[in-house]
Amino acid sequence: MRLKIVQAGEPVLRQPGKALSSAEIRSREIQQLIEWMRETMHDAPGVGLAAPQVGISLQLAVIEDKPEYTKDAGAEFLKERERKPVPFHVIINPKITLGEAGSAEFFEGCLSLAGFTALVPRARKVSVECLDHKGESRVIHASGWYARILQHEIDHLHGAMYIDRMQPRTFMSVENFNRLWKDKPMSEMRKLSGLER
């Protein structure tokens, strides 16, 4: 079943989600929600989807970066973004620790801000303590694009969106990004958008 993805302006996107107990996670209702969120994320398509994005204020997100999403991307593009496929998994009640490897800026989109993108600085490495789809404890150590996905989805679980962290001068339609900016290196993007003189 495909769920409706709510758009910016819906109050649920600005509220911290409710934590779930292990017993709640194993319930039929939450297991069904996870499956519906997975289908919705694939259908969109996206690499992550948080429960608040489907109007449900819970600290639960699904993540998957499929190999086919980058099959047409060049090696240099993938290397610069440190992007590799990530298998499907669920994060619940996450606690994130930002690594000390510095930050990186890349354009991000969001299924709840359909049609827009902006340059967003994010930590290059993170550690996340969470519960999985079975309610069992898990620690994730992530870097590169995977770390970015985790930060983006965990923000949603706390009522934040990428527009709270973006470089405002870089906010644009996806259409204009694809037409004017997509193939430019990050250094040129920063210069053209007035972030560097």
**Is 153 a residue of the active site?**
yes
Element containing residue 4 per DSSP (H, E): none
Locate all alpha helices (DSSP H) within 44-179, ordered by sequence. 75-81, 144-157, 174-176
Helix, strand or coil, per DSSP, at residue 179 = helix
Which is the catalytic residue, given 64, 153, 175, 188? 153
For 161-174, letters b (16+ CB in 10 Å) and e give bbeebbbeebebee
Helix, strand or coil, per DSSP, at residue 52 = helix
Query: What CA–CA distance (Å, rounded) separates 185 from 152?
Result: 22
Task: Identify which of 39, 45, 40 has the alpha carbon closest to the alpha carbon of residue 5.
Answer: 40
SS3 content of the chain, % helix, strand, coil (to 5): 40, 25, 35
What are the residue numbers of the active site? 153
